[in-house]
Amino acid sequence: MMIHQKMPQSVALAAGLMVLCLVAFLADQLSADPTHEGAWQSQDDFQVPAGLKPLRIPADNPMSVEKVELGKQLFFDPRLSRDDTVSCATCHDPNKGWSNGEAFATGVREQVGGRNSPTIINSAYQYFHFWDGRATGLEEQALGPIENPIEMDLTLKEAVSKINAIEGYRSQFNAVFGSEATSDTLAKAIAAFERTILSGDAPYDRFTAGDKSALSEAAQRGHEIFFNRARCSSCHVPPNFSDLGFHNIGIGIDAEKLDIGRQEHSKLLGDRGSFKTPTLREIQRTAPYMHDGSLATLADVVDFYVKGGNPNPQLDEEVFPLSLTDKEKADLVTFLEEAFASPNYPHVDPPVLPDWPSDSDGQSDGRNGEVMNTIRVEQR
C-alpha cells in the first residue's frame, strides 16, 4: 500500500514500540489490581499470579466481574453487623495484610474473640477454613462471622433483609443472580470476591523460576535452611506454603483454658491442640502470629521453632530442636520477610457503598456519611 511505502521504517518501528509499551503498561496496571474490571471478562480470563496453582472454582459459583464487585462492597460494608460498626474488612484489613494487626479480633460492642484473625490472602487454596478447619469452603465460611455473636451478630435472615432493603444491593443481586439476595447468594458474592485476593509472583516464585537475583544472599541461605535443615517445608508446602493439614506445634498448650483446636471437630485425641497450617504468603505483614497471636515477630517465631516448639503429648514429629546459629536464625527471618512479599500485593481500596434506603427511619443521608467514615481504611 502507498501509505506504508511512504512511512519511513524508523517511524513505523517507533510507533510499533509505543504500542507495545502501552500494552505492557496497561497489562501491568491491570494485574496490580486483581479486581480491576478490565483484568478479566470471563471465567477463562481469570488468571492467578505466577507461581500459584490454577484455582478450583466451584461449578455453582462461577466468577464474574459484577459478582466480584458486589462481593467487594459486601466485604467492606459494616451494615452486615448488628450495630453497623463491623465489616469483614475490620478484621481482614487490606492495609494489615488482610488480617488486623492484633492478637485477637474485636467484633461488635468491642467484644474480643479468642483467636487471631488469619489473613484471607490465598485462602481460596485452602480446603478447610478457620484455624480448626470447621468450614469446608469459602461460601460456607462467609456466613460464619455474620452470625457469630462476638463478630457481627446478625441472624442470616436479618442480614438478608437488611441487604434487600438497600436498593443499590437489590439491583446488583438481581443483575448477578436473577433475584434479590438470599443467604446463599450473599455467601457466593463474598466468596467470589475473596477468590481474587491472591498473592504470588513474589521473589520466591521468581527465584524458583530461575532468577537467582530475586533473593538476597541472606535470604538464599534462609531458603536453604527452610527447605532442608529446619524442614519447615514439610508442613509449609509450596506454592501456597500450607499442606492444607492440621498439626500440633505446641502453641497455647500452657494456656489456662486449652484451645483444643482441630480435636473439637474431628473428635480425635491425636488432633488435640492441632491447628491448620497457615500460608506464609505476605507473612511480613500479618504480625502477630499463631492462632492465639502469641508471637509478636518473625524472629520470635523462628526462636520458637529452634527450641523445638512446646513439648506436649501431641507434638508433631516434624517439630524438633534445631541447632541454628544467631546468623542462621537471622537468615531464616530474612527469607520469610523477603521471599513472600509480592510486588503485586493484592491491595484493594474500600469501594463506594450503596446508600441506605432513604425512607427508613433515622437512616437518612447523614447516616450514609457515618458509614463511609467507619469503613475508611488508611491508605498504604
Query: Which residue in the set 51, 118, 239, 354 belongs to the binding site for ligand HEC (CB under 6 A)?
Result: 118
Query: Is residue 120 part of the contact set for ligand HEC (CB under 6 A)?
Result: yes
65 or 302: whose CB is closer to ligand HEC?
Answer: 302
Reported as type and span, the H/E element at residue 275 is strand 275-276
* Interaction of residue 198 with ligand HEC, rule CB under 6 A: no
**151 flagged as catalytic:** yes
CB of 302 to ligand HEC, least distance (A): 6
Residue tagged active-site, from 139, 151, 328, 338: 151
Q: If binding is defined by CB under 6 A, does position 126 make contact with ligand HEC?
A: yes
The number of beta carbons lying within 10 Å of the beta carbon of residue 351 is 17
Which segment (29-37, 47-55, 86-94, 208-216) binds ligand HEC by CB under 6 A? 86-94
Binding residues for ligand HEC, how many (CB under 6 A)? 57
Which residue of 46, 76, 131, 207 would you call a contact of ligand HEC, by CB under 6 A? Answer: 131
Among 72, 82, 96, 129, binds ligand HEC (CB under 6 A): 129
Residue 265's identity, in one-letter code, is H
CB of 79 to ligand HEC, least distance (A): 11
- Pick out residues in 301-330 that bind ligand HEC (CB under 6 A): 301-302, 305, 316, 318-319
**CA proximity to 261, closest of 233, 290, 298, 294:** 290
Q: Which window, 127-135, 165-173, 263-271, 359-367, contacts ligand HEC (CB under 6 A)?
A: 127-135
CB 379, min distance to ligand HEC, A: 21
Do 306 and 329 touch, CB atoms closer than 8 A?
yes
Residue 356 binding ligand HEC, by CB under 6 A: no
152 is a contact residue toward ligand HEC (CB under 6 A): yes
Q: What is the binding site for ligand HEC (CB under 6 A)?
A: 75, 80, 86, 88, 90-92, 105-107, 113, 115, 117-118, 120, 123, 126, 129-132, 138, 141-142, 145-146, 151-152, 190, 194, 230-232, 234-236, 247, 249, 251, 275, 277-278, 280, 283, 286, 289-291, 298, 301-302, 305, 316, 318-319, 332, 336
Positions marked catalytic: 151
